[in-house]
Structure formats: structure tokens, C-alpha cells
Amino acid sequence: MSFTSLDLIDGLLRALESIGYKNATPIQKQAIPAVLAGRDLLAAAQTGTGKTAAFALPLLQRLALEGEQAAPNHIRCLVLVPTRELADQVFQSFQTYGFHLPLRSAVAYGGVPMEPQLVKLRKGVDVLVATPGRLLDLHRKGAIEFAQLQALVLDEADRMLDLGFAEDLDLLFSVLPAQRQTLLFSATMPEQIRQMASQLLRDPLTVQASAPNTTARTVRQSVFTTDKRHKPELFLHLMRKEGWGQVLVFVKTRKGVEHLVGLLQDEGVSADSIHGDKAQHARIKALKRFKANDVQVLVATDVAARGLDIEALPLVVNFDLPTVAEDYIHRIGRTGRAGAEGEAISLVCADEVDLLRAVEKLIGSVLPRQEEAGFEADHRVPSTGAAAAPAARPAAKAARGGAKPAKAAKPAAPVRDDTPRPAGGFGGLKEEMPPKEKPRSRGPMYGARGGSPGAGTGAAGRAGGRGSSAGAGGAGGGKVVVTATRGAKSTARAAGRAAAHAKPGGRGNKR
């Protein structure tokens, strides 16, 4: 279905044409008419399927056609998001789609000075994209009034609940007008989201463009089993062997992120990081460098699992599996976006078998496994399915994974109930709050004692034979370890690794 058939106004169609958008995605085809009609909406779709345009386009049209202007310090549409990176991305989308419309938009999040945000709000804003904590700070200062608010969007609502700050969310909803249009968009729909919807939405239309908790069929998924201490070397080996270009890598802990970045840089690989301990300006700079292809490898915690839209990103690597299975879907959703082909590789050790089992149960598929010669696991990763996964092809040609999305049933359109919703709410948020790097569900942490993979800092095979790692699990505060001294069994792996370290440059080919 083309956008012209969705009754969008000329200014929006011109903007869509300028960026090459012609046909609406399934979530857009279902959501745009409902939002234009003023319906509350509970919408689920895989990440990368166009959720932002599904709510941004119709809301911009409604705001433009009403002709009302926002009074000083007032906002007409509020979009709440869980992370700063997602706030920036959604804000840029609103600016792009609304380029030909006489509307003002702004973005507000923490980690940066508040004064520039105050200046924009004084003039009044039609669309404000914000993280909840900074929004509440601005409201307490009297910089935001909600009397003119017509629409509220909760984007990545499941991630907001993951943060677990019920008090802040209740406070926020208590100051918003009860009469408003409310839209909940999320890639996963756990029971908590449905409970949230029952309290915040009025006679909502439920839109489900894909089966819940499914991964995109355009993403090839596979698992490499190995021992925990061999993960860094295996990553470097695969990067050189397969000629990887840009890679987004997810590591469980912030310290682990920085240690892996240091290891890669020591090996001549251009790498940068994003995590909650990093200043916001540094996070923005790292993302810009990666998008500009100035950095080959971006290493991040789950703070980057949502809101990163990187054009044609070919590969995501789970250096560590996430402690919350749903985050796997969001992580690998950074690749294979908008119908493009992508690949997701997970490096899995025996300690992560419960996490792997949880992921496979969630997506309804046993991921194909393989081992790389010279990096076989001393501690075998137990089987996670009734039958062993089929033999996997090499990483660059791994079998497609994930369950085939079920065709969504077309929901009925009941008569709208005009009964006011309660002013109070459900759940809570704190401003962006990069998630504390500790498990949020049952399952082994990264390392047997408190999530630390080891104390050493040396890299095997580095030039000059620089230090070996101690490898004492639990003592390293989340560091990634490359162990230089091995037992007799590991001697057999030397030939495989020697070839990897012998290749000059160590950067891989950029694509």
C-alpha cells in the first residue's frame, strides 16, 4: 500500500518522497488510519518495521490541520522514550517528516545542560520528545505546562517497564490531562504492558503487525559455542577470517565494554563504546562516528539495544547473551531493518546455557550452533532443545533463524467510549536511566561470582608477548579476559589462533 492511499496531506507526502519512502509497512498501514481517526492504540511490531512513522505521520497531520499553536511553555504532543539515543532518533524523525509543516518540535533528556531546552520550551512546542526524568525536572521548574496536551505516545513501552521506576511514572500521569489520545508502541508485549494499557488507554485498538516476540526473518542467526575466556580471541579470529565490516557488539557490563574496546584497539581495530557510565556528549560522538563509518566496531551495553537506527548495519554480535531474553530481540533488531539482510551471531559459553534456553523459548526456535577450529569449548554447552539444532553453515552464510510471524487478525473497530480515563497511571520511569548491569531475571550472571569474567588484562598472542591474564573469575569487576597461559588441551588450538594473529592490520574489510 502506498502512502498516497492513506489520506496523508501533501506536506507529509513531499517529505516522504524526498527520503525515498513509497510504500507503507504493515504496522503503518494499520496504525496510521486509526491514529488519524483519534483512536487510542496498543501496537506491537518487530523492531525496524517503521513504528516511528506509524505514529509520527498521523500525529503531525492532526496537529497541522487543527491550526492551533502551542502557548508559551505548553506542548501539544508528548512522546516518551526510555533512552537518550532513542529520544534523539525519534526527534530527528519528527523533524524530517514535518519539514514542510509549520510545527515546532524539541527534544529533552538528561546528561546535557537544561538551559537550551528551557529556551525552546518558552516559545511553546507542538511536539516534545523526552525521557521521563528530564521531563519531570522541567515540569517542577515550571518550564512545561500540559493544559494543551492532545496526544501522548509511549515508545518502547516494555523497556520503560524494565527500568522499574513506578513512582515517577505515576507522578507523571497524575499531571497529564485525562482527556487525550494515548498510543503505546512496543516490539514486545508482555503481560505488564497489557495491564498498563488497560489503565491508560480508552477503548484502544490493538494492532499487531507480527507475532509477539518474534525476530525479523531477514536476520540470519547463529551461535558459536566456546569457553568464556576464549571469547575475545574468537571474536578477533572471526572478524579477520570472515572479513567483517561494521559490527555492533553487545557486552553485559560497562567494564566489560571498555575492556573489549581496549583489546580491539590494541589489536589495531578502530572501536568505540556506548554505556551508562559514559557522558552523553561522548555517547553521541561515538554513535556519529560509527554511523559515519569512521569506527569499525561499536561495543555497547543494552542501553544501545533500542533506538539505534544504523543504515545497512550488516552484523550484530552478542559477546554476552542478555539477562532478559526480550533484549535479544531488540539487540539483533539493529540489523536487518526495513527489509534489508542482516546477521546476528552469539558467542555462548556453558555458563550462559539458561540464558540461551530462555532466548530460544521466547523466539520459538533453536538457534543453529557451530564451533570454530581451535576455539572448541572445554566445558560443553548443553543441548537446549528436544533435538539438536541443525548443522550451521559458516558465519557469513548462517541459516536463517526466528519464528515465522503469524498473520495478524484484523481487529474489530468497536464504538469509542468517551468515558474519561483515570488521571493516575501505572508503572514508572526514571530519566533514561541506563539499566544497571545486573540480572533482572533468573539465570547465570557473567561469571560464577557476581558477574566478573576475570581479573587479567593481557591478550594472547599480542606483539612482544605482553602479559598473560590471571583469569580468576569474579575478581575482575566485569573485565573481558584473554588468557595467554593454557593447559595441555589448549595447545591444540595454537595453530588456529596463530593464523588469526598473523594477518596484518587486524581491521577487517570495511563495507
Does 270 share its domain with 385?
Answer: yes
pLDDT digits (tens, 9 = 90+) for 77-117: 999 998 888 899 899 999 999 999 999 999 999 989 999 99
DSSP 465: G
Among the candidates 349, 373, 404, a domain finishes at 404
Q: Looking at residue 400, what is its pLDDT?
A: 34
Residue 349 vs residue 22, higher pLDDT: 349
> What CA–CA distance (Å, rounded) separates 127 from 90?
11
- Residue 171 sits in the same domain as residue 243: no
Looking at the domain assignment, is residue 271 inside a domain? yes
- Is the same domain home to 374 and 286? yes
Q: Give the total number of structural domains in the chain.
A: 2
* Residues facing residue 41 across a β-bridge: 183, 205
- Alpha-carbon distances of 302 from 141, 222, 350, 363, 487, rounded to whole Å: 31, 20, 21, 19, 34
For the cut 60, the answer to whether the pLDDT of residue 228 exceeds it is yes
Give the C-alpha separation, 155 to 432, whole Å: 12
Q: Are residues 196 and 270 in the same domain?
A: no
Q: Which three cell numbers stand for residue 449?
A: 561470582
Half-sphere exposure of 187 (CA within 13 A, CB side): 25
Residue type for position 450? G
Query: In the prediction, which pLDDT does 212 show?
Result: 59
Residue 454 inside a domain? The answer is no
Residue 507 has pLDDT above 50, yes or no: no
- Whether 156 and 427 have beta carbons less than 8 Å apart is answered as no
Contact 309, 156 (CB under 8 A): no
% of the chain at pLDDT higher than 90? 47
| 248 occurs within a structural domain | yes
Other CB atoms within a 10 A radius of the CB of residue 360 amount to 19
Query: 511 or 220: whose pLDDT is higher?
Result: 220
Share in percent of the chain as helix, strand, coil (round to 5): 35, 15, 50
pLDDT tens, 7-26? 999 999 999 999 999 899 88
Residue 419 has pLDDT above 50, yes or no: no
Which stretch, 64-68, 75-79, 137-141, has highest mean pLDDT? 75-79
Strand-pairing partners, residue 298, are: 248, 272
Question: Which helix (H) or strand (E) covers residue 105, if one does?
Answer: strand 105-108
Higher pLDDT pick, 459 / 345: 345
Q: Please report whether residue 413 resides in a domain.
A: no
- Is 2's pLDDT higher than 60? yes
Q: Flag the least confident range among 31-45, 239-253, 300-314, 352-366.
A: 300-314
Q: Tell me the pLDDT tens digit for each residue of 332-342.
A: 888 877 667 89
Are residues 99 and 61 part of one domain? yes
493 occurs within a structural domain: no
pLDDT-derived band at 173, boundaries 50, 70, 90: confident
In a domain, 449, yes or no: no
Question: pLDDT band at 133, cuts 50/70/90?
Answer: confident
Domain boundary among 208, 234, 268: 208
391 pLDDT band (50/70/90 cuts)? Answer: very low
Residue 211: pLDDT band by 50, 70, 90 thresholds? low
Interval 420-443 mean pLDDT: 39
Same-domain pairing of 86 and 167: yes
- The DSSP code sequence of 285-334 is HHHHHHHTTS-SEEEE-GGGSSS---TT--EEEESS--SSHHHHHHHHTT
Q: Residue range 388-405: average pLDDT?
A: 38
Ranges 3-17, 277-291, 458-472: which has the least confidence? 458-472
Spatial contact of 180 and 149, defined as CB atoms under 8 Å apart: yes
Q: Quick one: pLDDT at residue 505?
A: 44
Query: Does 143 lie in the same domain as 27?
Result: yes
Question: Residue 218 — very low, low, confident or very high, per pLDDT cuts 50/70/90?
Answer: confident
| CA distance readout (Å), 278 to 111, 256, 302, 497 | 10, 13, 13, 33
436 or 150, which is more confident: 150
Low-confidence winner among 122-136, 360-374, 491-505 (lowest mean pLDDT): 491-505
Considering only CA atoms, give the Rg of the chain.
24
Which one is predicted more confidently, 69 or 472? Answer: 69
Task: Print the domain residue range for 252.
Answer: 219-404
306: pLDDT strictly greater than 80: no
Return the number of other C-beta atoms located less than 10 Å from residue 112's C-beta. 16
pLDDT band at 164 (very low <50, low <70, confident <90, very high): low
Q: 230 vs 20, 225, 465, 480, CA distance in Å?
A: 44, 10, 17, 10
Query: Cell 608477548 identifies what position?
Result: 465
Any bridge partners for residue 42, and if so which?
184, 206
Based on the fold, state whether residues 41 and 93 are members of the same structural domain. yes
Q: Is residue 132 part of a domain?
A: yes
Q: Which residues contact 487 (CB under 8 A, 6 or more apart)?
A: none
Residue 276 has pLDDT above 60, yes or no: yes
pLDDT of 415 over the 50 cut: no
Task: Check whether residue 173 and residue 263 sit in a common domain.
Answer: no
Examine the domain organization and report whether 81 and 111 are in the same domain. yes
Is position 274 within any domain? yes
Query: Do 200 and 258 reside in the same domain of the chain?
Result: no
Residue 215 has pLDDT above 80, yes or no: no
Residue ending a domain, among 208, 233, 253, is 208
Instruction: Give the pLDDT of residue 324.
Output: 86
Which CATH number belongs to the domain containing residue 265 in this structure?
3.40.50.300
What is the mean predicted confidence (pLDDT) over 275-280?
84
Q: Does residue 300 register a pLDDT over 50?
A: yes
Q: Are residues 178 and 276 in the same domain?
A: no
Report whether pLDDT(453) > 70: no
Mean pLDDT of 190-196: 81
Mean pLDDT for the chain?
77
| Of residues 359, 315, 317, the one with CA closest to residue 335 | 315
State the pLDDT confidence band at 386, using cuts at 50, 70 and 90: very low
Using 50, 70 and 90 to split pLDDT, how confident is the model at 480? very low
